[in-house]
Amino acid sequence: MNTCFPRMLNARTGWRPTRLTLALLLAYSVGVRAAPPGFEALEKPHEEILDVMLFGRSLGQEPVHLSADSVQFDHPQALLSKIKLRPESRGLVLQWLSVALPRHDELTCAAQYQAAGCGTISAPRQAEVIYDDAESRLSLFLPGDVLAVDGNENPHGARLYQPDPDASVGLVHEQRFQAVQSQTGSSRNQVMSAFGNGALGLGDRGFAGLRWQGSHDQSGGSTDNDFDVTDLYLRGDLNERMYLQAGRMGAQDLYGPLGGSQSFSFLPIPVISGVRIGSSRSYINASNDFTASSLPVVLQNNSRVDLYRGKQLLQSYVLAPGAHLLDASRLPDGSYPVTIRVFEGDRLVNEQTLPFTRRSGLQAPGLDGFDGFLQAGELRTQDSVADANGRQRDDEVFQAGARIPLGRWPASLTLGFSSDMIARYGEAGLSWSNSTDWGTFNGQLSAFAGNNGVRGVAQNFSWSMPDGGMGASLYQTRSWAPACGAEYSPLLGVKGCNQSLTASLSFNTGKWAWAALYTHSDYDGVDVEQQPDDPYTWPPGPIVRGINDVSRSYQLTATRSFNFGRLVVNTSLGLTQNSYNDGRSRHGAFLSFNANLMPDATLSSAGHASNTALDYRYQGGSDRASHTLGVTHSESWLNGSYRAWSVSGDAGSDGSTDATLSGDYNGQYGHGAATLLGNSGGGNDSSSLSLSYDSSFSVSHKGLAFGAAPSSAGQPPAAVVIDLPPIGNESMLLLQTSNGNYDASVGHAISVPVDGYSVASVNVSEANENTVGNLSLGAGRNYSGFLLPGHVYDETLQGHASYTYIGRLLRDGKPFAGALLLGSSSSVSSEVGGFSLLMDRRDAGLVYAWAEAGGLYQCKVVQHRDRADVVFVGSLACEPVDVATAPAEVAARIQAWQQTAESPPSDLPASPAS
């Protein structure tokens, strides 16, 4: 075989032979002659359109002239305009881009079999490129000293993101629907709820935000319906650090990057209809500019993980099975407990509360790290706090807050003020964080006061070692009203005197992990009972009763995991004690074993996981001892769209039994889950069915596109819309996003929702390497860009599929040797008629060939045996045909060749076959 033939295929078609194809080529290539005379033009430079990448970012498609060993840009000036360069370097870079550059296709990761450092050129001295023919992509590399320094760069090395200029305004909306029907005895309940979160882009730096929620609750003979628009506002970014906002808005966006870094323990900041101006960190790349304690979570199945600070939802994640450290880059600064809730479908399977501290070290350009906000407006009646008599009213309110770094110290001061027409409140806080050889120390002190006598203080301290094996924390809060009574204003209601303390200590000894926890709660207050308006009631007026509740709890736990091959046993044992001021006391011990038969490695590599778990739990002490035994089996498929089902059952020593059947699907058009639960025993049989569906859609200048489920906690959304045109005979492609992976149907536009003010990342690749053809995906395959809420990036995927036909040509029942076959590439049959040919369809019925003597032949394909991207077609009988009767495309290519060939052709060039 001519040694230049594979190189010619790469240059003209973007096809790289697989190992199987190469082996078959060798098997069929005995005695194959060189390419016929007159075909030297196939190896001459030709024009192609390639996706040009610079540091992982697409610069768009550019026409180039491609030869066997070099590449040259057709329009270097246009390419230069897309690159941020130092002014004095523009002329030099233009010279580099105006000459032919070595292809360096030997440096692609496919050529180097994924070797370390493949796909890159380190420290280039001039413009260099790597041509990836399989991806129709050209990676450009430039010396760092010619690139423009980002003018937003600050002394700590963090940058301000710049919105993608190619994104357009649009409407992006995310929605979640849930329905639960339960029955206990003869009582039936139905609950349906819906939640929506959307953003409409307005100009380059603005958007309109919307959040709404509704519910329908039917219990017994009563029905309760509720619908509320919690947020409806307009926001415009004055620059990368300041914004102006007006409309109906809550405090959700105020604690985090969208509204700065203020963190308050007591200060009331309600939902208002009004105006807000403040600073934000939305454009700041804070990925490496903060310190935060770790938030580990271990998942048995594909799950949704929600983080809560009290009742406030901070962030949601959709994660695959395994051990994860949750991303804390978008959580608010401060020191506070974080509750981690793990959901499989709609079923809460685990919940734990961990101490958490996050401190941003950023000193933003021009503002020296200062953050603040001012807002004023009106409080709705339904949002105001009712007084002891249940009265509510509208009121004008005003709030302000600021975070002030204390020079070079690792500390900051937080100040806040909030007022209505009745009362005024203020809070001051000091927070700091410091890392030493003895570990990381974090602390926060807060003091709160109102002119109506309401007071509050909070102290939070934590310490942890770098390896996470040892740590301690202390959280204490106190709040009180005058005389431990009750004080109300539209903003805030405080009743009695409250004190709570939580202290924890964790450490490891060998393979055992130990944790000790102490909690204390103390409430002093009054209970006011209104007397009926009856002259015979004595004593007259309200009855006031004093209340004092004190509780303490102690807990010591020890955990360890044992591995026996695929069997993993998790053990947990502990001691608990609870005491109350009325003399009641409870103490006990608990013991649990969880045995998991982990997935087989061969199944896991294929994306299929099967898990069986056996649980045993014992709890005893001053109460009656109880034993519970449960078993769970689950199956999940992780390649592409996530699919899973599980079945579980529990049996208790009290005679109760539980059974659960659940299913889960997360794909290109949303996330759906269903759970059926049944319980019997104790004379209180019950059952329930819960359904949920999360999805999204976007509207842009290209129209309406439906999309996947969001993974955010309700932040204003943006979207990336990928238009997937038909490619060969393929039906699915793999869409890899920051929200998860999906099998995406070709011939449709898919909307991928992302958090606004974040970097969106989308990649398109083969859906299944074992079944698809040899795909060459060009423009639209990769996207990474910073998107503002209500902004949409539209991209159309470009690419083609090819299939390697393996067979044998026969003419008059004898081997047809030396014939030039026409497909997505040219191929010459061997002395025994064997051939390997690229075609653009898996089910082509005809193959055309040309012989020096005899002209054009038509070879009928009667069988297709597929194996990945190889199609075995057996022996093909070839009959001569007139060029005039050939398909128009074949005839046109013949005519074009005859007009451009340097000499009269004896064969044909590469040409698509029918």
pLDDT digits (tens, 9 = 90+) for 3-27: 333 333 333 333 334 333 333 333 3
pLDDT at 56: 60
How confident is the model at residue 154, as a pLDDT?
35
Task: Give which of 808, 806, 836, 838 is closest to 913, Cα–Cα.
Answer: 838
What's the pLDDT score for residue 903? 37
Please tell me which residue, 106 or 367, carries the higher pLDDT value: 106
Q: Picking from 101-105, 423-427, 799-803, which range would have the lowest pLDDT averaged per residue?
A: 799-803
Measured in degrees and rounded to the nearest 5, phi and psi for residue 465 equal: -85, 155
Each residue's pLDDT tens digit, 838-865: 888 888 888 888 887 778 899 999 888 8
Confidence grade of residue 816 (pLDDT, cut at 50, 70, 90):
very high
- DSSP for 676-712, please give it: EEEEE-TT--EEEEEEEEEEEEEEETTEEEEE----S
CA pair distance 571, 238, nearest whole angstrom: 55
- pLDDT tens-digit profile of 526-548? 765 555 555 555 455 555 566 78
Residue 849 pairs with which residues in a beta bridge?
821, 857
At 171 the pLDDT is 96
Q: What's the pLDDT at 781?
A: 75
Q: How many CB atoms lie within 10 A of CB 320?
A: 15
* Tens-place pLDDT, residues 703-728: 999 988 887 667 899 999 988 888 87
> Residue 286 pLDDT more than 80?
no
Are the C-beta atoms of 251 and 383 separated by less than 8 Å?
no
- Judge contact between 568 and 555, C-beta under 8 A: no
CB 368 within 8 A of CB 405: yes
pLDDT at 828 over 80: yes
- Average pLDDT score over the chain: 78
pLDDT tens digits for range 888-907 = 777 776 666 666 543 334 34
Tokens 């409806």 identify what position? 232
* Confidence category of residue 681, pLDDT binned at 50, 70, 90: confident
Rounded to the nearest angstrom, the gap between the alpha carbon of residue 53 and the centroid of all alpha carbons in its chain is 23
Question: Rounded to an integer, what distance in angstroms lies between the CA atom of residue 763 and that of residue 794?
Answer: 14
Q: For the sheet containing 334-344, what is the strand order?
A: 290-292, 347-360, 334-344, 303-309, 312-319
What does the alpha-carbon distance between residue 789 and residue 758 come to, in Å, rounded to a whole number? 9
Give the chain's largest Cα–Cα span: 124
Q: Are strands 791-796 and 717-724 parallel, antiparallel or unpaired?
A: parallel
In whole angstroms, give the CA distance from residue 760 to residue 18: 32
Highest averaged pLDDT of the listed ranges 94-103, 314-323, 590-599: 94-103
pLDDT tens-digit map of 196-244:
999 999 998 999 999 999 999 888 778 888 898 989 999 999 988 899 9
| Lowest pLDDT segment from 43-47, 234-238, 457-461 | 43-47
Contact 232, 214 (CB under 8 A): no
Interior angle at CA 650, CA 647 and CA 655, nearest 5: 145
Buried b (16+ CB within 10 A) or exposed e, 116-143: eeeeebeeeeebbbbbbbbbbbbbbbbb
Tokens 């003399």 — which residue? 583
Q: Look-up: residue for tokens 């089902």?
A: 645
* Residue 30: predicted pLDDT: 31
Check: CB of residue 789 under 8 Å from CB of residue 714. Answer: no
Residue corresponding to tokens 């005197």: 497
Q: What per-residue confidence (pLDDT) applies to 19?
A: 34
The percentage of the chain sitting over the pLDDT mark of 70, rounded to a whole number, equals 78
* Cα-trace Rg, the chain: 34
pLDDT recorded at residue 13: 34
Q: Are 838 and 16 in contact (CB under 8 A)?
A: no
Q: Is the pLDDT of residue 658 over 90?
A: no
Type and span of the H or E element at 176: strand 171-184
The whole-number average pLDDT for the span 776-794 is 84
User: Tokens 């591995």 map to which residue?
Assistant: 563
Higher pLDDT, 856 or 911: 856
52 contacts 138 by C-beta, under 8 angstroms = yes
In this model, does residue 311 exceed pLDDT 60? yes
The residue ranking higher by pLDDT, 77 or 155, is 77
pLDDT digits (tens, 9 = 90+) for 557-573: 898 888 887 788 888 88
Phi/psi at 473 (5° precision): -150, 155
